[in-house]
């Protein structure tokens, strides 16, 4: 863990200000949630993602999609891959995504198909951004291994995307 050399005081209500440089690097915005953890004598602050909370619940959906289409399906927030179908566990689970990929998730498009460097390989990726109340929070991803996107039941993928978005709302 690298230290920044920045020091902040705790006010009378127990508040501290997270330095602007750190907020910018973590792409944190006003109103976002932070989770706290205690590790030995350290307080660990982590940008909270509702998607992390529901990762295990979504794995079943991703697995069913894999069995139907034989493509790798993943769920990611704007920093990491949170869940994936069983064929991708060893390669993708909990891996970070690139900043370029995080920026693609921010796009206002419903579906993005692209060739992209993704966890050390160039992959054909279909991205279905997951919309939160104020911004896109992550994405449902499909890596085209066997079945091209145009041959997949787009209605089914949109349904899975909507189920995940509704689950995000209830977790919030």
Radius of gyration of the chain (CA): 18
> Residue 139: CB partners within 8 Å, gap ≥ 6?
75, 76, 105, 127, 128, 129, 130
Give the pLDDT confidence score for residue 12 in this predicted structure.
94
pLDDT tens, 134-156?
778 888 888 887 777 777 877 88
Residues 114 and 135 occupy one common structural domain: yes
Residues 146 and 109 occupy one common structural domain: yes
What is the mean pLDDT of the segment spanning 120-126? Answer: 81
pLDDT band at 84; cut points 50, 70, 90: confident
Q: How far is CA 134 from the centre of its chain?
A: 15
Q: Phi, psi (5° rounding) for residue 123? A: -125, 150
Residues 72 and 19 occupy one common structural domain: no
Residues 68 and 1 occupy one common structural domain: no
State the chain's mean pLDDT as an integer.
81
> pTM for the full model?
0.67
Residues 108 and 149 occupy one common structural domain: yes
Q: Phi, psi (5° rounding) for residue 76? A: -135, 155
CA angle 84, 88, 92 (to 5 degrees): 75
> What is the span of the domain harbouring residue 19?
1-48
Residues 19 and 78 occupy one common structural domain: no
CA angle 77, 80, 86 (to 5 degrees): 100
Q: Is 158 helix (H, G, I), strand (E, B) or coil?
A: helix
pLDDT band at 3; cut points 50, 70, 90: low
pLDDT tens, 12-68?
999 989 888 888 877 677 777 777 888 888 888 776 666 666 656 678 888 988 988
* CB neighbour class for 49 (10 Å; exposed up to 12, middle 13-18, buried from 19): buried
Residues 56 and 127 occupy one common structural domain: yes
Percent of the chain whose pLDDT exceeds 90: 4
Residue 69 has pLDDT above 80, yes or no: yes
What CATH number is associated with residue 96? Answer: 3.30.450.40
Give the bridge partners for 73, in sequence order: 142
What CATH number is associated with residue 36? Answer: 2.10.260.10
Residues 59 and 119 occupy one common structural domain: yes
DSSP for 91-126, please give it: HHTTPBPPHHHHHHHTSS-S-EEEEEEETTEEEEEE
Residue 11 has pLDDT above 90, yes or no: yes
Give the pLDDT confidence score for residue 52 in this predicted structure.
64
Residues 26 and 55 occupy one common structural domain: no
> How many domains in the chain?
2
Residue at token pair 């994936």: 84
Which tokens belong to 90? 């060893």
Residues 64 and 130 occupy one common structural domain: yes
């Amino acid at each position: 863990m690298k230290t920044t050399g920045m020091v902040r005081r705790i006010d009378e209500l127990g508040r501290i200000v997270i330095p602007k440089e750190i907020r910018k690097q973590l792409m944190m915005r006003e109103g976002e949630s932070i989770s706290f953890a205690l590790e030995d004598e350290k307080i660990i602050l982590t940008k909270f993602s509702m998607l992390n909370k529901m990762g295990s619940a979504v794995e079943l959906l991703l697995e069913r999609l894999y069995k139907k289409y034989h493509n790798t399906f993943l769920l990611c927030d704007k920093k990491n891959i949170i869940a994936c179908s069983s064929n991708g566990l060893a390669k993708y689970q909990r891996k970070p995504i690139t900043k370029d990929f995080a920026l693609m998730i921010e796009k206002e498009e419903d579906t993005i198909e692209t060739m992209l460097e993704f966890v050390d390989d160039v992959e054909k990726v279909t991205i279905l951004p997951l919309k939160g109340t104020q911004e896109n929070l992550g994405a449902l991803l499909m890596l085209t291994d066997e079945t091209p996107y145009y041959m997949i039941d787009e209605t089914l993928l949109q349904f899975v995307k909507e189920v995940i978005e509704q689950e995000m709302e209830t977790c919030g």
